Amino acid sequence: MHPAPSVIVFTTLSGLGFGLLFFLGLGLPDVSGWVAFVFFAIGFGLAVGGLLASTFHLGHPERAMKAFSQWRSSWLSREGVAAVAALATMGLYAAGVIFLDTRIAVLGWIGALLSLATVYATSMIYAQLKTVPRWKTALTPALLMSISLAGGALLAGQIALAQILLPIAAVIQVIWWVRGDGALQGSGTDMASATGLGPIGDVRAFEPPHTGTNYLLRELVFQVGRKHALKVRVVAVLLGFILPLLLIFIPYAHVSVLVAVILHLMGIAASRWLFFAEAEHVVGLYYGKR
């Protein structure tokens, strides 16, 4: 599928922001006053900034508020509701920690769970789609949540946790790629089923359905060369997981952790680009893509 920059920014920043808010809700790190203000400001800035970036991909951004009304059936709507609930709860919790030096543990735990629920809802927007076999797996929520927690631990300065969570996220990422490479072929969907002409006989593309491009081709049919994809995967793993992990094994220094966070963001952005660029929508079969 077409890797829209707004969605890449959204999934990268919001995942990291809500990951940080998750740990802050658990009281990690144990800070107060202006130090707490800085941590919460970063968490809210990343989470809200990512959510705002997602609106640039909407055909009618002015109708965004209507998405909240479909929470019974839409994971997109559930994501919006969970995000607002998480931000509101964490806002109250943060106010107590920053201005009153009072930590209401229950409020923080609820905010942490809502933050994690937001990331899960985001992942299910993609994991529910039968039309994209690469995404249709329980590994998709596992991937997005593990990366969110690993990045959140890194940004929260929880080095011991980050040393555990980064390798876990890296392994899930690699497994997700390996499984995804054969997902379309393993789904049983082909040109015959895509066109509905299977009962007639062997189906092959005689010529393209359109002489020019259209919305489906622009948004849902995007191909990236295997060699290029492999290079981006290597970059994603190196920047997103390996280098940050090596940096935080250095005796604790704020500079090394800051560099680790920046590299992690760059690596996850590359991973998110592949998340969309390698996603084969079955509509591509109708246009002769294999």
pLDDT at 70 exceeding the cut of 80: yes
pLDDT band of residue 252 (cuts 50, 70, 90) is low
- 8 A C-beta contact, residue 39 and residue 17: no
Of the candidates 41, 12, 35, the one whose C-alpha atom is nearest the C-alpha of residue 150 is: 12
> Do residues 158 and 25 make contact, with C-beta atoms less than 8 angstroms apart?
no
Cα separation, 201 vs 199, in Å, equals: 6
Amino acid 61: pLDDT = 67
The total domain count for the chain is 1
What is the percent of the chain with per-residue pLDDT over 70, rounded to a whole number? 94
**What's the average model confidence in pLDDT over 146-156?**
97
pLDDT-derived band of residue 290, with 50, 70 and 90 as boundaries?
Answer: low
Q: Which domain holds residue 122?
A: 5-286
Q: What is the CATH number of the domain that holds 255?
A: 1.20.1630.10
What's the pLDDT tens digit per position in 211-248? 677 777 787 888 787 789 999 999 999 999 999 999 99
Place of tokens 């969970």: 82
**pLDDT mean over 18-39:** 96
Residue with tokens 């299977």: 198
| CA separation for the pair 269, 50 (Å, rounded) | 12
Distance separating alpha carbons of residues 174 and 157, to the nearest angstrom: 25
Contact 22, 152 (CB under 8 A): yes
pLDDT at 262: 96
Residue 90 scores a pLDDT above 70: yes
pTM over 0.75: yes
State the pLDDT at residue 80.
93
pLDDT band, very low/low/confident/very high, at 208 (cuts 50, 70, 90): low
How far is residue 83's CA from residue 220's CA, in Å, rounded to a whole number? 27
Amino acid (one-letter) located at 46: L
Per-residue pLDDT reduced to its tens digit, 105-117: 999 999 999 999 9
